[in-house]
């Protein structure tokens, strides 16, 4: 825990000191075969409901710590660079009161640290789940407020999506601004890159995508991860979803039970193969 708590400020200092280096390794993550996430539906159901201040609440938000802007990267990070057998597990679209705790339980069983890229609307609905994730020593990243395809939005709207999410993650999480940003569908626009950097975040994509959101079966997800894994991989999983009105987390398109079962299956096998687990590291 103490190591985890030290992590963010140290990295921020390094970054603020201009020591950030663009990763020297190539971005073979571009070779990935899939867009990685459910296709944008065009539904407006997920758009922010209030044009007012962050969080949309009636009570004034407490002042938040100032963020340290970082240099705008040319492209997102597709790999981790912590060591010969290091990989990173990432979980998108939560927090979910149903599946996030199940993922946390599996990670705890194997003493693995992961990164959770959260949607602002879901943080607003389930702030306690974000706190559970942080209390367990994991990293929380920004995955926009309502999970839009950022290519379709005007710059001001892109900023609102990202800024509002950093604010709620910071507020709910006890004052630590997120330092990682992942664009929905991996669509990192130049505006999104600039905005996230201005808010102190580094863009992180993925290199292994089992398309778990499409619910191909836990065995298929497991096999896809085990087949594609390699040192430095960033693995995309989904512990949550943006729910349509009336949609349930269980039994429908938002059901993530296959993902949970797959993590239970592939994690011990990756460990047995010698893999170790880290989080995307902006300072490398």
What residue ranges bind Zn ion (CB under 5 A)? 37, 92-93, 184
Give me the helices (H) in the chain, please.
2-16, 100-109, 120-125, 127-135, 155-172, 190-198, 218-228, 257-272
Compare residues 90 and 102 and give the one whose CB is closer to Zn ion: 90
Helix (H, G, I), strand (E, B) or coil at 24: coil
Compare residues 37 and 209 and give the one whose CB is closer to Zn ion: 37
The shares of helix, strand and coil residues in the chain, as percent rounded to the nearest 5, are 40, 10, 50
Tell me how many degrees the CA angle 259-264-268 measures, rounded to the nearest 5: 135
Q: Which of 126, 147, 202, 238 is catalytic?
A: 238
Compare residues 86 and 239 and give the one whose CB is closer to Zn ion: 239
Which letter does DSSP use for residue 214 in this model?
A: G
92 is catalytic: yes
Give the shortest CB-195-to-Zn ion separation in angstroms.
Answer: 17
Give the shortest CB-193-to-Zn ion separation in angstroms.
Answer: 17
Compare residues 93 and 205 and give the one whose CB is closer to Zn ion: 93
Which tokens hold the place of 246? 């009336």
Q: Which of 92, 93, 212, 239 is catalytic?
A: 92
Give the shortest CB-182-to-Zn ion separation in angstroms.
Answer: 7
b/e map 106-141, b = 16+ CB within 10 Å: bbeeeebbbbbbbbbbbbbebbebbebbbebbbbbb
Give the shortest CB-93-to-Zn ion separation in angstroms.
Answer: 4
Give the shortest CB-37-to-Zn ion separation in angstroms.
Answer: 5
HSE toward the beta carbon, residue 212, CA cutoff 13 A: 30
Cβ(92)–Cβ(182) below 8 Å: yes
Closest residue to bound Zn ion by CB: 92
Compare residues 44 and 66 and give the one whose CB is closer to Zn ion: 44
108 is catalytic: no
- Catalytically annotated residues: 92, 238
């Amino acid at each position: 825990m103490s190591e985890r708590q030290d992590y963010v400020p140290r990295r921020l200092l390094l970054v603020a000191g201009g020591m950030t280096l663009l990763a020297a390794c190539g971005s073979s993550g571009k070779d990935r075969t899939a867009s990685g996430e459910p296709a944008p539906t065009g539904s407006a159901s997920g758009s922010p409901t209030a044009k007012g201040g962050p969080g949309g609440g009636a009570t004034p938000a407490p002042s938040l710590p100032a963020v340290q802007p970082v240099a705008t990267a040319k492209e997102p990070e597709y790999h981790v660079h912590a060591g010969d057998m290091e990989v990173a597990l990432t979980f998108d679209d939560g927090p979910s009161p149903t599946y996030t705790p199940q993922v946390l339980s599996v990670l705890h069983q194997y003493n693995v640290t992961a990164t959770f890229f959260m949607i602002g609307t879901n943080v607003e609905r389930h702030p306690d789940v974000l706190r559970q994730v942080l209390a367990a020593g994991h990293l929380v990243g920004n995955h926009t407020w309502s999970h839009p395809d950022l290519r379709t939005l005007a710059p001001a709207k892109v900023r609102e999506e990202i800024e509002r999410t950093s604010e709620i993650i910071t507020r709910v999480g006890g004052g630590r601004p997120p330092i990682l940003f992942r664009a929905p569908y991996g669509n990192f626009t130049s505006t999104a890159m600039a905005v996230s950097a201005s808010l102190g975040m580094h863009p992180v994509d993925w290199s292994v995508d089992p398309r778990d959101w499409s619910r191909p079966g836990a065995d298929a997800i497991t096999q896809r991860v085990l087949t594609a894994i390699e040192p430095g991989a960033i693995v995309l999983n989904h512990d949550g979803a943006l729910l349509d009105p009336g949609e349930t987390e269980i039994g429908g398109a938002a059901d993530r039970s296959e993902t949970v079962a797959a993590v239970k299956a592939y994690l011990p096998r990756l460990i047995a193969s010698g893999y170790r687990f880290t989080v995307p590291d902006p300072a490398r």
